[in-house]
Structure 1
Amino acid sequence: MQIKISDHAMEWFKDEMFLEKGDNVRFFVRYGGSSPLQEGFSLGMNKEEPLDPGVEYNKDGITFFIEERDLWYFKDHDLIVDVDENSDGPTYSYEKE
């Protein structure tokens, strides 16, 4: 599995989360909401250090990661992160590996 961050999403993360080189962003599974992959669960994100990363993606010196314990959520799909122009927030889509 891979994490793919668009250039627009990268700028959003830098601006909204005040990210700098060397920072880390974790995508994690949370109970509640819905997604096309897992009903009753959704993705969250937080600026934090990795403990047991299952997948990592580095762009502009910032590392995005998913912990090993959360990989079940993706069911052999890549995570694609972009920005919704209307809400000016991140969007998540999934692409079969």
Structure 2
Amino acid sequence: MQIKISNHAVEWFKDEMFLTTGDTVRFFVRYGGSSPLHEGFSLGMNKEEPMDPGVEYQKDGITFFIEERDLWYFKDHDLVVDVDENKDGPVYSYEKE
């Protein structure tokens, strides 16, 4: 499994979360909402330090990661992150590996 983040999304995260070199952003599974992968669950993100990263992606000195305990959510899929211009926020999609 991989994390794929567009350059535009990296810039959005840097601007909106005031990220600088060395910062880390976690994508995590949360109860509630829905997704194409699991009804009743959705994806969240937060600026925090990794404890047991299962997958990482680095760009412009920022590390984006998913903890090992959350990898079940993505079974056989890559996480693709971009920006929705209309909502001015991240949008998540999933590609079959």
Q: TM bucket by the smaller chain?
A: over 0.9
Match in the other structure for 2:63:
63
Matched, 1:53 2:53: yes
Match in the other structure for 2:12:
12
Structure 2 unaligned spans of 5+:
none
Letter of the aligned partner of 1:11 in structure 2? E
Q: What is the number of residues matched between the two proteins?
A: 97
Structure 1: 4+ residue segments shifted above 2 A: none
**Displacement, 1:75?**
1.4
1:15-49 per-position Cα deviation (integer Å, ceiling 9, x unaligned): 10000000000000000000000100000000000
**Displacement, 1:59?**
0.4
Structure 1 unaligned spans of 5+:
none
Letter of the aligned partner of 1:80 in structure 2? V
Q: Percent identity?
A: 89
